[in-house]
Amino acid sequence: DADVTQTPRNRITKTGKRIMLECSQTKGHDRMYWYRQDPGLGLRLIYYSFDVKDINKGEISDGYSVSRQAQAKFSLSLESAIPNQTALYFCATSGFRDRDPRSYNEQFFGPGTRLTVL
Amino acid sequence: RKEVEQDPGPFNVPEGATVAFNCTYSNSASQSFFWYRQDCRKEPKLLMSVYSSGNEDGRFTAQLNRASQYISLLIRDSKLSDSATYLCVVKVPGTYKYIFGTGTRLKVLA
């Protein structure tokens, strides 16, 4: 079973629609992240959360919002989708292990959501 | 200069060959570096972390050159299954943010 799951896996929507992408994890990690990937660009951080009460903007948060409903769940919303939000979206998690704080750097990604905004 | 820069490739190599990619970074204060592997349209997977001069895991070796501000990934005895895009990632010092390179594409040919 996948440790990090994302739903939906593919979505086509229209400009102006609200859409939510969901991420769940069974790894017991406290940190979760949302990235988007565009052709010719590296993954870019949208939002990140270190626990349920801690949510932070990444480098490209405009047009997006997030909700950390529980330690295991982190949702990304597009309030009013626009075509340049067409991209591959990844959720990632990281957590503490082996008494090594550097383990937080090791991110585990979900399978991605391919979003197309027409 | 881009924060993290990689040659996009593709690098086409025969099975069994040794291949190396470089990744340059602009922030001389960077301390934490990572290589991820990404298969087409799939999620990135962590291959290796580099915190000091280098790291080795089986056929894969990563080396850090702080003076010239680059990290390299060496793959020995290439397998067909090594065909993928390799992403270089650099942690921004003093933050919890990571800069991803655009990736280097490797094709191992039979």
Amino acid in position B83: S
Question: Residue B24: is its pLDDT beyond 90?
Answer: yes
Question: Residue B42: is its pLDDT beyond 90?
Answer: yes
The secondary structure of residue B101, as a DSSP letter, is P
**Mean per-residue pLDDT, A93-115:** 90
Q: Which of residues 6-65 of B touch A (CB under 8 A)?
A: 32, 34, 41-46, 49, 51
Alpha carbon distance B98, B88 (integer Å): 10
**Mean per-residue pLDDT, A6-27:** 97
- Report chain A residues whose CB lies below 8 A from the CB of B97: 45, 48, 58-59
Amino acid in position B13: V
The pLDDT tens digits for B54-103 are: 899 999 999 999 999 999 999 999 999 999 999 999 999 888 889 999 99
Q: Is B100 on the interface with A (CB under 8 A)?
A: yes
Alpha carbon distance A48, B43 (integer Å): 18
Contact B36, B102 (CB under 8 A): no
Give SS3 for A104: helix
Write the residue in B4, B43, B99 that is nearest to A111 by C-beta. B43
Q: Is B4 on the interface with A (CB under 8 A)?
A: yes
CB contact under 8 A, A44 and B100: yes
Query: Number of C-alpha atoms within 13 angstroms, CB side, residue B31?
Result: 6
The predicted pLDDT at position A1 comes to: 56
Residues in contact with A105: Cβ distance below 8 Å, sequence separation at least 6, in sequence order: A94, B32, B34, B49, B91, B98
Question: Residue A76: is its pLDDT beyond 90?
Answer: yes
Query: Number of C-alpha atoms within 13 angstroms, CB side, residue A52?
Result: 6
- Report chain A residues whose CB lies below 8 A from the CB of B91: 105
